[in-house]
Structure 1
Amino acid sequence: MTTTTPARTTARMAALVSEIRTVVDRGLAPDLTAYLVGERVAPHLGTPDLLTPEQRVGDPDRYRQHVLHAEPDGSFSVVALVWLPGQETAIHDHVSWCVAGVHEGQESELRYRLAPATGDGCARLVATEHVVNGAGDVCGFAPPGDIHKVYNSCRTTAISLHVYGADVIRLGSSVRRVYTLPTD
């Protein structure tokens, strides 16, 4: 993943950040915060004035993360992820609540649960759901139970907007842990 520092913000993105700040400042439970932030993100998806041309550029080697905003107090960050066909994440979970909305294209997600060790003494990941999100779709979640793998499942560039309840510039990523366990 390629990460950039916050770039120029569009007027629409500035308005969305303000809406997100109003929700986050309420100090609600993480799952409720994710739900309410998702409601604010949805109307902005697919609009031509949300991202600058530079924020829509991918990377031929891996999906690219454009940091659009990091709240000064560290309470949330907004990023655009640009996925070229076939690009994907590792199986991972997160340090905080998260909202993902598809701005353009299609993003697929494989969700997992951690199964306890069996007779062989090895824990496993069990796939629980395969979700395909198209333009305008939004999902939100909060740890624990947020283990997944995300990938571009379409033949064109996919762009998604992600809001994390953490400062991804300071942390370097929203990922808490990458899983290399066997999967069922």
Structure 2
Amino acid sequence: MSTIISAAPALTETAAAVRRALRAGTDWNDAARLVADELRGNLPGLDLLTSEQRAGGPEGATGHLLHAEPDGSFSVTAVIWLPGQATRIHDHITWCVVGVLQGVEHEELFDERLNPIGTADNHVGEVTGFAPPGDIHRILNTGTENAISLHVYGTDLSRVGSSVRRYYDTEK
């Protein structure tokens, strides 16, 4: 039985889609690719969140843990970014798949020396995925409305607390 923190029916469908993808028993890169493929066909709508959750908060990007698989294989989190909010440059402890539900998330990618190597604007309905190593990035909401995304991580965030492995100091 799954630990469903949100009772939204769409979340049940999303969790089932992630389970289907992970049955292949592959490495992290394949897991990210397969989960992204499943999520593209099962990306829920904003009704997954309450209006209070969709509001975000002035202190920074706001995350809501919606599901933690009991076997620790994955978690589903919604993240809300107010206009102008950004993460610090960071990498992750596991693979991650992100689907944009509202707004645009601007992503900046970096190499291991923190040299910029690319950018992407992820729009509503777009799904991306990655796996360490090579996942150093920063997310910014460069739009005028809240950006809301659904994140699937290959770990149990209710146990580990965060998917971030390390934050990078860009001050030299």
Normalised to the residue count of structure 2, the TM-score between the two structures is: 0.91
Selected match of 1:175 from 164, 168, 171: 164
The 1:96–1:52 alpha-carbon spacing in structure 2 relative to 1, beyond 3 Å, is same
Q: Cα RMSD between the aligned structures?
A: 1.9
Distance 1:94 1:30 in 2: 12
1:182 to partner: Cα distance: 5.0
Contact 1:104 1:134 in 2 (8 A): yes
The 1:6–1:14 alpha-carbon spacing in structure 2 relative to 1, beyond 3 Å, is closer
Normalised to the residue count of structure 1, the TM-score between the two structures is: 0.86
Contact 2:6 2:48 in 1 (8 A): no
Query: 1:146 is matched by which residue type in structure 2?
Result: D
Distance 1:25 1:44 in 2: 17
Selected match of 1:157 from 141, 146, 154: 146
Gaps of 5+ in 2: none
Selected match of 1:111 from 106, 109, 112: 109
1:137 aligns with 2:95: no
1:39-78 to 2 correspondence within 5 Å?
39-45=37-43, 47-78=45-76
Gaps of 5+ in 1: 116-124
1:141 to partner: Cα distance: 0.5
Q: Which has the larger radius of gyration?
A: 1
Alignment-derived partner of residue 29 in structure 1: 27
Query: 2:161 is matched by which residue type in structure 1?
Result: G
Tell me how many residue pairs correspond in the alignment: 170
1:81-120 to 2 correspondence within 5 Å?
81-115=79-113
> Sequence identity of aligned pairs in percent?
46
